Amino acid sequence: MLIRTKISYYFHIFAPADISKIAVMKEIRILDKTFRELITEKAILCRIDELARQMNNDLAGKDVVFLGILNGAFLFAADLFRRINLQARISFVKLASYEGTSSSGSIKELIGWNEDIKNKTIVVIEDIVDTGNTLERIVDELVIRKASEIKIAAMLYKPAAYTKDIPIDYVGFKIPNDFVVGYGLDYDGYGRNLSSVYTLIK
Ligand code: 5GP
């Protein structure tokens, strides 16, 4: 089996009988690496509720196109978009910049543009913003295609790795500069189906 889940129970200084005080550290193994749960499914969905509420307020009355960046943002895009009550459309484009657990540095071709975004408010839906190279590439393309307004939503954001000035309007969680998987994000193609976000420990 490619993904194994191990649950370790750590009894804190509280009385062990108090079940609510037991910290559960979930670990999983994908291929040759071990990851530990960093953000639970419940925390992710609560945060998306908040982000959607904010967007519904901020963008009320506008003609909005949500633009999901594949592959990683497909779960975030779905969970976010179903909470949006604006008159809105959604479309997806695809590119890739990562192989294994370190950036290859090369940004590949953007494919899948089939939406006329001229004079539209665009909300870019990113799974994670790391260096910001991908984001910059997408924003450049949106400017060329004459979007009237560009908003950025990122489920995860690594401030320590970010090298750009583009403001990220909606951030799910700021995380340390470590490799993560789950909730759409993969390690060599695996782990996208995990409901929580896990961080690499070894
Ligand atoms: P950036 O261009 O901002 O450096 O990286 C953005 C893309 O790299 C993301 O859309 C994602 O596909 C990938 N990426 C960046 N950090 C991570 C990470 O910690 N885990 C995984 N699985 N992918 C990452």
- Domain span at residue 194 reads 3-200
Tell me the CA–centroid distance for residue 180 and ligand 1, in Å: 9
Residues 6+ apart with CB under 8 A from 12: 21, 22, 23
For residue 32, is pLDDT > 60? yes
Give pLDDT, residue 114. 78
pLDDT tens-place string over residues 37-65: 999 999 999 999 999 999 999 999 999 99
Number of neighbours of residue 160 by Cβ within 10 angstroms? 10
CA nearest 127: which of 60, 175, 57? Answer: 175
Please state, in angstroms and rounded to a whole number, the distance separating the CA atoms of residues 176 and 199: 9
For residue 165, is pLDDT > 60? yes
> Could you give the 3-state DSSP secondary structure of residue 70?
strand
CATH number at residue 169: 3.40.50.2020
Active site residues: 130
Neighbour-count burial for 3-39, b at 16+ CB within 10 Å, e otherwise: eeeeeeeeeeeeeeeeeeeeeeebbbebeebebebbb
Domain count of the fold of the chain: 1
Higher-scoring residue by pLDDT: 97, 186:
186
CA dihedral 104, 102, 66, 153 (to 10 degrees): -130
Q: Is the CB of 128 under 6 A from ligand 1?
A: yes
User: Ligand 1, from 135, 185, 194, 199: best to mutate by most atoms within 8 Å of Cβ?
Assistant: 185
User: Ligand 1, from 97, 101, 126, 188: best to mutate by most atoms within 8 Å of Cβ?
Assistant: 97
Q: Is the CB of 199 under 6 A from ligand 1?
A: no
pTM above 0.75, yes or no: yes
Band the pLDDT of 171: cuts 50, 70, 90.
Answer: very high
